[in-house]
C-alpha cells in the first residue's frame, strides 16, 4: 500500500507537460504537503533500500545534505532565471518519475557533430553543487559533468553552449 501511496504522492497533473520552468510543475503532493509528512512517507517507502522515484531535492533533504525542500526549489528557480532567457535553452518537464525536469540546449542537438541528444542540465543529489551537465551526444550516455552550483554553471555556460 505504501508504494501506491508514494506513486500518487509524486504524480504530476497533466498540465505539467506544458510547463516552461520547474515552478510550474510543483503541483504534486510532495511539493505541497508539510515537509515532515513528505519525508516520513519517503523514508517509509524507501526503507527497503531500493531506489524510489523521487525529486533530487527530497533525496538530498532526506540524506541531510540539503536544508529543506524550499532550498531545492530556490536552486531550480535560479537555474530557470539563468537559462530561461538565453537563446536555445528549453525546459523539459517530463523527466523520470518524481524528478523536477531538466534543461536542454537545442542547438547542440542539430550541431555539426550530428548529436541526437542535446546538452542537458539537470539537478542532482550526487554532489553538493546540485547541478550536472550531460554533454551533447549520440550513442551511450556520457558521464555527467559535476558543476559547482549556479556560479559554476554561469561560468561554464559558454563552454557548454559551444559544443555543437
List C-alpha distances in Å: 28 to 83, 100, 130: 24, 11, 21
Q: What's the average model confidence in pLDDT over 30-43? A: 96
Distance CA 63, CA 4 (A): 23
Q: Taking the model in full, what pTM does it have?
A: 0.91
Q: What's the average model confidence in pLDDT over 107-119? A: 74
Average model confidence (pLDDT) for the chain? Answer: 90
- The sheet carrying 145-147 orders its strands as 89-92, 102-105, 119-123, 131-134, 145-147
Number of domains in the chain: 1
Q: What is the number of H-type helices and E-type strands within the chain?
A: 6, 5
Give residue 108's pLDDT.
79
List C-alpha distances in Å: 4 to 8, 9, 105: 6, 9, 35
Distance CA 130, CA 132 (A): 7
Expressed as residue numbers, the domain containing 115 is 2-162
Give residue 146's pLDDT.
98
C-alpha R_g of the chain:
16
Amino acid at each position: 500500500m505504501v508504494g501506491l501511496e508514494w506513486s500518487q504522492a509524486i504524480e504530476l497533473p497533466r498540465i505539467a507537460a506544458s510547463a516552461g520552468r520547474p515552478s510550474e510543475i510543483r503541483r504534486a503532493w510532495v511539493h505541497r504537503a508539510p515537509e515532515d509528512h513528505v519525508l516520513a512517507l519517503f523514508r517509509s517507502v524507501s526503507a527497503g533500500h531500493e531506489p524510489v522515484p523521487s525529486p533530487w531535492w527530497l533525496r538530498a533533504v532526506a540524506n541531510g545534505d540539503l536544508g529543506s525542500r524550499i532550498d531545492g526549489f530556490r536552486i531550480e528557480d535560479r537555474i530557470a532565471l539563468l537559462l530561461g532567457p538565453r537563446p536555445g535553452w528549453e525546459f523539459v518537464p517530463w523527466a523520470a518519475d518524481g524528478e523536477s525536469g531538466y534543461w536542454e540546449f537545442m542547438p547542440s542537438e542539430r550541431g555539426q557533430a550530428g548529436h541526437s541528444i542535446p546538452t542537458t542540465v539537470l539537478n542532482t543529489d550526487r554532489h553538493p553543487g546540485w547541478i550536472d551537465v550531460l554533454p551533447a551526444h549520440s550513442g551511450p550516455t556520457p558521464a555527467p559533468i559535476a558543476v559547482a552550483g549556479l556560479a559554476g554553471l554561469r561560468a561554464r555556460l559558454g563552454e557548454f553552449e559551444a559544443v555543437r
